[in-house]
Amino acid sequence: MNTEKKIASISASLALVLGLGAAAAMPREAAASQALAQKYSCVACHQPATKVVGPSWKEIGAKYGDGKGTAAQLAASIKGGSSGKWGPMPMPPQPQVPDADLQALAQWLLDGAK
């Protein structure tokens, strides 16, 4: 096999592997986000459809989803904390959560926490 054919074959194989890997990662990302919400104790104040201390996942998605906010903005708000956005109860800062996990949680919320 000549060099050009080898490169084309390797490129096609790599594209296939990357495509399959991306497709397989999608369901795990949603599950990972639910697991992250539990890991970082978000569930102590937030629930899927019911306001507890803070707004529900559904309320957050409705307020910031559909292009009303970005995952980066929401992640920054989680990391830095906030007050006055949802009433008098402040959201304490969460600086211990790694940025990648904050981004995953924020995107999961914007996508409807599914």
Amino acid at 13: S
pLDDT score of 10: 52
The answer to whether residue 14 is domain-embedded is: no
pLDDT score of 114: 82
String of DSSP letters for 22-74: HHHHHHHHHHHHHHHHHHTTGGGTB-SSSBSSS--HHHHHHHHTTTTS-HHHH
pLDDT score of 88: 93
The answer to whether residue 10 is domain-embedded is: no
Average pLDDT for runs of 10 along the chain of length 114: 55 44 49 90 96 95 92 96 93 96 96 89
The answer to whether residue 34 is domain-embedded is: yes
The answer to whether residue 50 is domain-embedded is: yes
Q: Which domain holds residue 72?
A: 29-110
| CA 18 – CA 81 distance, rounded (Å) | 36
Q: Residue 81 is part of a domain; what is its CATH number?
A: 1.10.760.10
Domain count, the chain: 1
The answer to whether residue 46 is domain-embedded is: yes
Report field, pTM of the whole predicted structure over 0.75: no
The answer to whether residue 17 is domain-embedded is: no
